[in-house]
Structure 1
Amino acid sequence: MTISSSPHIVSVILAAGASSRFNGSKITAKIQDDQSVLSHSIATLNQLSATANIAAPVVILGAHINVEVMAITADTPRIINPHWQLGLSSSVKQAVAYAIEAKADALLLVLADQVALTVDDYVGLIEAYQHNGHTSCSFYHQDVGVPAIFIADDFTGLLSIDGDKGAKSVLKRHAEKNSLNILPMENAQFDIDTPADLALWLHQQ
């Protein structure tokens, strides 16, 4: 299925964290067919790019840059976050800066470690956004979250986030104003934070 190519949406995979609970670089851990967590995410977003006619994904790297670069192909655009120690907000800000430079109408934010997400999950999010032009997000663990599509009007708010916080505050403000498309997304609830999470994922494959 191919959906409309407009408006202009860019996608960014956030992968700059220290993975402190994993005791190493979790995004280079192998999860299937010798694919790493990060390369799996890139492959899924590349497939989405072809399906939904959106820009190919950009990856934000940071804490484990030396091994992370080896986990992605040379043709995958990447942004290095030198301030990754400041937390997730620093990567969100770099993603927004990239979207502004690209003159994007909207930004699809993705976490590299949500390995259960499929192209269909992302397509559903894009279709919801294109239906009415509202910020659109996933819903799991009884809360809103990413992946999410943020409209250009959100960029200023995203740039004001500090510390190890993501973009949830922006989503909640939209929810309060009834200007948020919320999609239940069961696959988004599984991410890889610990070696036990990885072992469970491998066992399920």
Structure 2
Amino acid sequence: MADIQPIILAAGASSRFGACKLLLEHGGRTLLQHCVDKLVSLDLPTPLIVSGAWHAPLVDAHPGLDLRQNRDWRAGMGSSLAFGIRQLQADCEAALIVLADQPAVTGADIRSLLDTWKENRNIVCSFYENRRGVPAIFPRSVFAQLAILDGDRGARELLRGPRDDITSVPLASAVIDIDTPQDWKNFGESR
């Protein structure tokens, strides 16, 4: 699937966690490495990773990964998503946006999004907690909208607005999001 570029958003400060949560280890690998490994197992191009607050420690821990620092990461997830979109090659057909702090999302979950995208080539997003969210696949037709995002809402307005070109895929695993030490503890206890 060389026409779909995975982008991992990993730029936040982890302020509610109090440390770089993407360096947490589960099964001997960091959360970030787990995310990368899931994507690589699906025969996708090497993920582009948008880093920010913890750029240097992430590079030190993962010297072989394609980490690109969004120096405007403080502006929020929208800024990091826009930065990632602006890094794409001109022939890229779609961007698969994933968050490194959703550790319960599996390769099979991502595969279901990819299979749906192949069928319709529209926006394909996860559906959990009665709303649309990421992981999500955005076709080239919306890159211009994504490339100017700012603030902490990411693509929320685009995904949750009244559009007829969005296909939602139920993805209950996406509800697990590591934001606090308690979230991490709960995730570990559920495994």
Query: After superposition, where does 1:107-186 map in structure 2 within 5 Å?
Result: 107-173=95-161, 176-186=162-172
AA paired with 2:179? D
1:196 aligns to what? 182
Kept in 2, the 8 Å contact 1:154–1:170? The answer is no
> Residue 15 of structure 2 aligns to which amino acid in structure 1?
S
Q: What is the one-letter code of the residue matched to 1:178?
A: D
CA gap of 1:201–1:133, structure 2 versus 1, over 3 A, is same
User: Which whole-Å CA distance do the structure 2 matches of 1:69 and 1:44 have between them?
Assistant: 19
Deviations 1:23-52 (A, max 9, x none): 11111111x22211111111111112x2xx
Deviation at 1:142? 0.9
Query: Which has a greater percent of helix?
Result: 1
Instruction: Answer yes or no: is 1:98 the counterpart of 2:84.
Output: no
Identity among equivalent pairs (%): 34
Q: What is the CA deviation profile of residues 141-183 of structure 1, one whole-angstrom value per residue up to 9, with x for unaligned ones? A: 110000000011111111232211111111223xx23211100
Give the letter for the 2:5 counterpart.
V
* CA distance in 2: counterparts of 1:188 and 1:102, whole angstroms: 30
CA distance in 2, matches of 1:161, 1:80: 17
CA–CA distance in 2 between the matches of 1:85 and 1:103? 30
Q: Which residue identity lines up with residue 10 of structure 1 in the other structure?
A: Q
Query: Structure 2 unaligned runs (5+)?
Result: none
- Paired residues in the alignment total 191
Q: Secondary structure at the match of 1:78?
A: strand
Alpha-carbon separation, structure 1, partners of 2:9 and 2:159: 17
How far off is 1:71 after superposition?
3.0
Q: Which runs of structure 1 show a deviation greater than 4 angstroms over 4 or more consecutive aligned residues?
A: none
Please say if residues 39 and 71 of structure 1, whose CA atoms lie closer than 8 Å, have aligned partners that are also in contact.
no
The offset of 1:90, in angstroms, is 1.3
Query: Do structure 1's residue 44 and structure 2's residue 38 form an aligned pair?
Result: yes
SS of the equivalent of 2:85 reads helix
Q: Normalising by the residue count of structure 1, what TM-score does the alignment of the two structures yield?
A: 0.89
Contact 2:79 2:154 in 1 (8 A): no
Work out whether 1:23 is the aligned partner of 2:18. yes
Aligned amino acid, residue 67 of structure 1: P
State yes or no: 1:61 paired with 2:56: no
**Pairwise CA RMSD:** 1.3
- Opposite residue 45 of structure 1, the aligned amino acid is L
- For 1:107, the aligned partner's letter is A
The one-letter code sitting in structure 1 at the alignment partner of 2:17 is F
CA distance in 1, matches of 2:55, 2:146: 24
Q: CA shift at 1:102, angstroms?
A: 4.4
User: Is the CA contact 1:12–1:59 (under 8 Å) kept in the aligned structure 2?
Assistant: yes
